[in-house]
Amino acid sequence: MIPIHSVTSDDLPQQINSLENRPDKPEEACGVFGIYAPGEDVAKLTYFGLYALQHRGQESAGIATFEGTQVHLHKDMGLVSQVFNETILAQLPGNLAVGHNRYSTTGSSRKVNAQPAVVETRLGSLALAHNGNLVNTVQLREELIQSQVNLITTTDSEMIAYAIAQEVNAGLDWLEGAIRAFHRCEGAFSLVVATPDGVMGTRDPNGIRPLVIGILEGNPVRYVLASETCGLDIIGADYLRDVEPGELVWITEQGLASFHWSQQPQRKLCIFEMIYFARPDSLMHNESLYSYRMRLGRRIAQESPVDADMVFGVPDSGIPAAIGFSQVSGVPYAEGLIKNRYVGRTFIQPTQTMRESGIKMKLNPLKDVLFGKRVIIVDDSIVRGTTSRKLVKALRDAGAAEVHMRISSPPVTHPCFYGIDTDTQDQLIAATKSVAEIAKQLEVDSLAYLSWEGMLEETREDTNSFCSACFTGDYPVAIPEQVKRSKLILEKVVV
């Protein structure tokens, strides 16, 4: 029996997916968390891990725990703090757990598509949480349906769970079945999978989406898996290492075992994880992403200087780059915008008057700070340009004499197929307009993007070990034509 507690309705307003109401940013797929910790309150630890990973997905949340062979599941629409409370967490006993925050990229925003996905096998239940996006979903779905698998959701995550179950039911054990199923998957997938025997964590052969391993000290040692290190910090776990591309880690009462199931792993971490998605206090390459983002700001100050009275970032993601810009340029850093951090994602639509007034529900200019000043505003990216234009207007209305915009990444010219929710190519402003044309549309006095080379060089890592397809159209995993046609409709851009 799998108890599922329901609080909210599947029915959401259709208009929340309209372009007008969507954030003018790339949207992440989700965050995953897994833990093997006998003797600990694994549900509560998973809750806090998901709480720290809330930025990766705000549509739904879920936790599955295993108490021997018994699985307990609770998932629903909403933020982690809305989906769970003390009473619900008390109904999720066990020694191991997996959790998930969802932002839908494959499958609509409905409770039935919330994760973890739980399926039955001859060895017991498995619960799977997935960050990423498969590109061979059509083929995999047809294979499963032909095998009489009854899919109940529209997500590729459920397909991966059923693919594992199918291999296990054919006679393989958990490890062999999982590895056989992973070979059937193409695209981006960082997974945590709970079974009665233990917890698995894996990444696709390119490691497009992140996944880290942590340790909770004790006797015996307990292990944690999370999309980012901030998910470890919140529960007091120490960062051990990343799960490698094409690696499966298997955590049981014997400890942690590692299996490299891909013969040709080639690291291609999504560069947008470093620029924007991951929290600035998360570690990648043994440093915080705050440090990398500051270097991006320093680099664009060198590449595209401009004389001004003050520089500030769009809260919160543009702030580290703005500080770096100030350090190199000598232009004083200040706060020009105040963010309402309690808005979150709301299904209550603003009135027409509020929509026409711009973006003041989330960002409000400091009029006395901005009045009469030549300002530089730093942001991490521009996707459609709709929010950027409203922001520039708000700054001018507040009295800014000049508005110069600096973007700490190159122009986004191509959609993502690996777990980021981007528009079709014709909706990406940089795919159809030059920088000068974008500047004119945004009504800024000047506009400059960071160079592609600068973005990669400032990682201080092998520049070939990142996926930057959204800037170049050079996709590391081949995209099937029928998938490609759904988003990619223009010529490839050369950088």
Catalytic residue among 29, 30, 117, 134: 30
Cis peptide before 93 (omega within 30 of 0): no
State the pLDDT at residue 26.
64
- CATH 3.40.50.2020 residue ranges for the chain: 288-341+352-466
Q: Over 60: is that where the pLDDT of 348 sits?
A: no
- Between residues 149 and 411, the one the model is more confident about: 411
Annotation-wise, does 470 bind a ligand?
yes
Using CA atoms, how far apart are residues 374 and 446, in angstroms rounded to an integer?
Answer: 11
> Which pLDDT band, with edges at 50, 70 and 90, does 24 fall under?
low
- For residue 19, pLDDT over 50 is answered with no
Does 108 show up as a binding residue in the annotation? no
**Average confidence (pLDDT) over 38-42:** 96
Query: What mean pLDDT, rounded, does the chain reach?
Result: 90
Active site residue 185: no
Enter the pTM of the model: 0.91
Q: Is 270 annotated as a binding residue?
A: yes
pLDDT, position 111: 80
User: Lowest mean pLDDT: which of 103-107, 214-218, 230-234, 244-248?
Assistant: 103-107
Q: pLDDT per residue over 359-378, tens digit each? A: 677 899 999 999 999 999 99
Whether residue 416 is annotated as binding a ligand: the answer is: yes
The reply to whether 380 sits in an annotated binding site is yes
Q: Which of 42, 182, 159 is nearest to 99 (CA)?
A: 42
What's residue 364's pLDDT? Answer: 94
Pick from 22-26, 326-330, 417-421 the range whose average pLDDT is largest: 326-330
Is 81 annotated to bind a ligand? Reply is no
pLDDT of residue 7: 33
Of 123, 110, 113, 137, nearest in space to 477 by CA: 137
Burial code of 432-463, b = ≥16 C-beta within 10 A, e = fewer?
eeeeeebbebbebbbbbbbbbebbbebbebee
Classify domain 288-341+352-466 by CATH architecture.
Answer: 3-Layer(aba) Sandwich (3.40)
For the domain spanning 31-268, the CATH number is 3.60.20.10
Mean pLDDT of 403-417: 96
Residue 466 pLDDT exceeds 70: yes
Instruction: Give the count of beta carbons closer than 10 Å to the beta carbon of residue 157.
Output: 27
Question: 317 labelled as ligand-binding?
Answer: yes
User: What is the mean predicted confidence (pLDDT) over 124-145?
Assistant: 95
Residue 17 has pLDDT above 80, yes or no: no
Task: Return d(Cα 357, Cα 64) in angstroms, integer.
Answer: 43
In the structure, what pLDDT confidence band is assigned to residue 493 with cuts at 50, 70 and 90? very low
Q: Where in the chain is the domain with CATH 3.60.20.10?
A: 31-268
| 271: confidence class by pLDDT, cuts 50, 70, 90 | very high
**pLDDT at res. 51:** 97
Integer CA distances (angstroms), 391 to 355, 401, 443, 473, in order: 13, 14, 10, 28
Which pLDDT score is estimated for 4?
36
**430 in Cβ contact with 438 (< 8 Å):** yes
The mean pLDDT of 63-71, rounded to a whole number, is: 97
pLDDT score at 349:
60
Whole-angstrom CA distances from 75 to 8, 59, 64, 121 are: 10, 11, 8, 21
* Whether the predicted pLDDT of 268 surpasses 80: yes
Task: Tell me what the mean pLDDT of segment 195-210 comes to.
Answer: 98
